[in-house]
Structure 1
Amino acid sequence: MKKQSNDILYQEESGYKDLLLRKSMKMRIMETLAFVIGMLLLSQFFDSRTDAFKIFAFAIAIAVVGLAPFLYKFTLRPSYTLTKTHLIIRMSGQETSYPLSEVEPIFEGRHLYRVGGKRQSLMVSRQFLNHLNERLYLYQKGKKRR
């Protein structure tokens, strides 16, 4: 669904910090599994009491946590667009548009929202979340007047 440029209120592509701090539970589980697999492979080559094992374990942890946002950015290419009436989420080239009536915050001040009936983590900056919350407030206020 293409929106005209004058209809767009705020648009943002997810940055490294957003992907690092606001990833979904599914992404966190995948990172944990990658770490566990890395540790299992490492334990095959080194005794767990050696310094080399401890250094490589620390390196695996840094690699999994630190490099995962780059992988997410490269594969998912997440971008978010806020219009007057819709929240448009683009992931992996697929664009999904949700009317603001289907968007509601789950926790105040957090990045978790119920979007289209599903719990979703929005990997965007605080500025975008502030704009979204403001727009949702105005939408709810306008809806109550009717």
Structure 2
Amino acid sequence: MKKQDNEILYQEESGYKDLLLRKSMKMRLTETLAFVVGMLMLSQFFNTRTDVFKVMAFAIAIAVVGLAPFLYKSLLRPSYKLSKTHLIVTISGQETRYPLSEVEPIFEGRHLYRLSGKRESLMVSRQFLSKLNEQLFLYQKGKKRR
């Protein structure tokens, strides 16, 4: 009979707040580029010293930052699963399994982790991160006993 090490202990789909606060550097750069493009287009139609330009620039900033998580959620559909031995990350339908031996936090209490040698941002709640850290601790503790 097959050993049941890969039972899912905890799973979560990224919510709006998680996507807003814990996005990756790539996503932040995309938002910045979208804002810059919006500002360049806006400056073609309005004088930059007018109040209309300032209000529209503020509206673009709110739209880019506020609406981007909805866009990420609908396009990327990020979800995370935690088992006894693996962290399973699903983004855009592609599932990637990371053994817990290749998962380590970069900053304690933060959402940045090194997954198989790459720096990644986990767009999950604090509850999921605490479960992950707890499982990493248990995994390391069990590994030292052997």
Interval of TM-score (by shorter of Structure 1 and Structure 2): over 0.9
| Number of positions where the alignment pairs a residue of Structure 1 with one of Structure 2 | 142
Could you tell me how far 1:116 is from its partner in structure 2?
Answer: 1.2
Matched position secondary structure for 1:48 = coil
Q: Distance in 1 between matches of 2:21 and 2:38?
A: 22
1:18 aligned partner? 18
Q: Percent identity?
A: 82
Could you tell me how far 1:145 is from its partner in structure 2?
Answer: 1.2
Which ranges in structure 2 are unaligned for 5 or more consecutive residues? none
The code of the aligned residue for 1:46 comes to: F
Which ranges in structure 1 are unaligned for 5 or more consecutive residues? none
2:116 aligned partner? 116
The code of the aligned residue for 1:18 comes to: D
Q: Distance in 1 between matches of 2:107 and 2:66?
A: 26
Q: Distance in 1 between matches of 2:77 and 2:116?
A: 21
Q: Distance in 1 between matches of 2:70 and 2:41?
A: 23
1:28 paired to 2:28: yes
Q: Distance in 1 between matches of 2:8 and 2:28?
A: 31
1:58 aligned partner? 58
Runs of 4+ off more than 3 Å: none
Let me know the Cα RMSD of the aligned residues.
Answer: 1.0
Matched position secondary structure for 2:56 = helix
Matched position secondary structure for 2:48 = coil
- Structure 1 length normalisation: TM-score? 0.95
The code of the aligned residue for 2:111 comes to: H
Matched position secondary structure for 1:89 = strand
- Structure 2 length normalisation: TM-score? 0.95
Please give the per-residue CA displacement for 1:9-35, whole angstroms capped at 9, x wherever unaligned: 100000000000000000000000000
Could you tell me how far 1:78 is from its partner in structure 2?
Answer: 0.2
1:69 paired to 2:64: no
Please give the per-residue CA displacement for 1:82-134, whole angstroms capped at 9, x wherever unaligned: 00110000000011111100100000000000001100000000000000000
1:142 aligned partner? 142
